[in-house]
Structure 1
């Protein structure tokens, strides 16, 4: 429907600016079901996504254009004479007028999409709004459609979509078309909704991406630990760089009379079991004695 309403707006702007009836149809459809679709379909302002920005543009730009033409365009009646007779019709007649092009679009859509391309839709090669909402298991529309008999689901969906469009045309027909302030507030709310949806998208998507990265890192660490368990344990005698742990003193294997078995003061295989005593004087004489002897060649 969004492309149909955009085309209808362009036809009024550039081809039939004198038509009051066409403007009423455009205004109610544009600020009604087209603008409200931003909330219903959760259009979001996501700058790095061309699809999301394009979808938001075709839903928010036409309401802004028609509102500017109606309330802010200088000498708008001279450029668009159809604006002069808006108040000649009551709100019921305005909704009835807007319902006619809507029914034209709905009938064409059903014929060319739902009927002529039925096989492609059922095979999954193409998708329409009915199949999308029907497959939405968490949405209220999808749950309601699944409670209806399969052969009647699409007709009930078309009828529900028509009622939805009529309900959202009430506000433009009764208030927005007459009030600049109400229109500005309405557009701010609609656009703020798209900003909120975009912020939620960034938080959810990038949050899940960060969570997956953390999970991947955790698995890599677990795999590394499993392949090399000694790297995370306490140092042992098999670890290089810890020779002091190989000493019997560290392992506690020396007991009793073997206390000097590993002393550097005892020669290997020596039968001496204790360190010989030596006085300080004897030690000094032993050190100075070679220096007192004459040097021989």
Structure 2
């Protein structure tokens, strides 16, 4: 189960405490509160709810969902009870059995909830903190909404209401205690976030220093060790999370070729052009497409930046700094190849080297990827619930519509077709940039600024929305208190 699915399930379980009976029913208070099943975030508004929840913002769809849903369920229940009364005179015994089944379902649901909490170790501390904040807010709203609803429930016995409230409160507190056990790990996790933040900032400083101080030699060694180290760490981390099939994606294959070129065969003209096209084509466009962000305290984000942005910067430095510098050196002292700029025109031979050869190598990867993910390991991926890029996109609302139309047989083919189209489109940027310093400079700045912008959005919107959520909750509490005061004043005047 992915982090997003786990957060959504937690939101579903906590939101059950907000469900109440409709005024028109004579059933015990909150006795019909059923679990609301949340499927995978397949629709756009479902993903929006999850994003708000993970960022500390209280979605209105969760806060305000009470009377309408309960009324819908209560109408269905009335029809069912009416049909049972006509066909069976022992309707009272059937109701008792139904309520017994409901209690069993609630217990089973709670057991499932407890088992899923074991996976909370995968969540960030900020996400766990937001879950507890949501729990506290739900408890406050539960108290106020229960108080307001009790004025309209005159036919119910006070002792029965108190019993239901105690039952719900006990369940709520039990779940909250389980969450707090995980929050006891918060100091350690927050300490690690601080360490990663320092590492991220130092990595940025080291990159700029090596690029400025040793652009023609040691910077390439820095590139090799940095990318290799971060990818190895991701391999172990993703293996634990069952995400390791992501490492079969194209960017890791391309980074392997790039490191091979830098270490083993730096004078290979074909590998140089493959390196340039991959780094400035798919890697550059992947930054806005996958929202790669300079978020310094998250190692996963730093790794994504390293495998996409560092090769792009390296290709820029090699094309416009190192190759020009090595022209002044004797042939025996040159580490990289020598390019004849007069022959680098938009000719058929140029396009063959810059597009058709890189595209042929890409097609080789695409064939091997399709065989591995969709044929050889397809059964294993489903049985072990592994994550892949195809599953990631299938959970996106816009992509799911397209893949569902294609069906399970042709869905993978459609997915790979979009992947091929993405490669062809992005390769055009690289081909144009190869012969233009200014075009290459502008593209490099655009992709870099986008990664910084995505990081700024995370930090600014996260904190601002958290403050907005707290202010909104205070406003709702104040509004509820005002309404309660008006109702009490009205009742006292009537008496």
Q: TM-score, normalising length from structure 1?
A: 0.67
SS of 2:281's partner is helix
Map 1:9-20 to 2 at 5 A: 9-20=258-269
Match of 1:164 in 2: 422
Match of 2:301 in 1: 52
Deviates more, 1:90-99 or 1:159-168: 90-99
Deviations 1:62-81 (A, max 9, x none): 01111101111153452212
2:276, 2:315 within 8 Å by CA — same for their partners in 1?
yes
Kindly tell me: are residues 210 and 124 of structure 1, through their superposed partners in 2, closer, same or farther at Cα, counting changes over 3 Å? farther
Map 1:120-131 to 2 at 5 A: 120-123=380-383, 125-131=385-391
What displacement does 1:134 show? Answer: 1.4
Map 1:1-297 to 2 at 5 A: 1-73=250-322, 75-76=325-326, 78-81=334-337, 83-84=339-340, 87=344, 89-123=349-383, 125-137=385-397, 139=398, 141-173=399-431, 175-215=432-472, 217=474
Kindly tell me: are residues 142 and 200 of structure 1, through their superposed partners in 2, closer, same or farther at Cα, counting changes over 3 Å? farther
2:273, 2:353 within 8 Å by CA — same for their partners in 1?
no
Deviates more, 1:178-187 or 1:82-91: 82-91
Bigger proportion of residues as helix: 2
Kindly tell me: are residues 48 and 155 of structure 1, through their superposed partners in 2, closer, same or farther at Cα, counting changes over 3 Å? same
CA distance in 2, matches of 1:152, 1:114: 11
Deviates more, 1:94-103 or 1:74-83: 74-83
Matched length: 228
Deviations 1:82-136 (A, max 9, x none): 6458738322442110012212222222223333332343357211111111110
CA distance in 2, matches of 1:195, 1:182: 20
Listed as ranges, the gaps of 5+ residues in structure 1 are: 234-297
CA distance in 2, matches of 1:196, 1:28: 24
SS of 1:147's partner is helix
1:25, 1:98 within 8 Å by CA — same for their partners in 2?
yes
CA distance in 1, matches of 2:353, 2:429: 14
CA distance in 1, matches of 2:338, 2:355: 17
Kindly tell me: are residues 124 and 211 of structure 1, through their superposed partners in 2, closer, same or farther at Cα, counting changes over 3 Å? farther
What displacement does 1:211 show? Answer: 3.2
Match of 2:26 in 1: none
Kindly tell me: are residues 204 and 82 of structure 1, through their superposed partners in 2, closer, same or farther at Cα, counting changes over 3 Å? same
What displacement does 1:169 show? Answer: 0.6
What displacement does 1:144 show? Answer: 2.6
Deviates more, 1:66-75 or 1:28-37: 66-75
CA distance in 1, matches of 2:391, 2:365: 18
2:270, 2:353 within 8 Å by CA — same for their partners in 1?
no
CA distance in 1, matches of 2:439, 2:326: 19
What displacement does 1:165 show? Answer: 0.1
SS of 1:79's partner is coil
Deviations 1:21-60 (A, max 9, x none): 1111111111111111001111111122221121112100
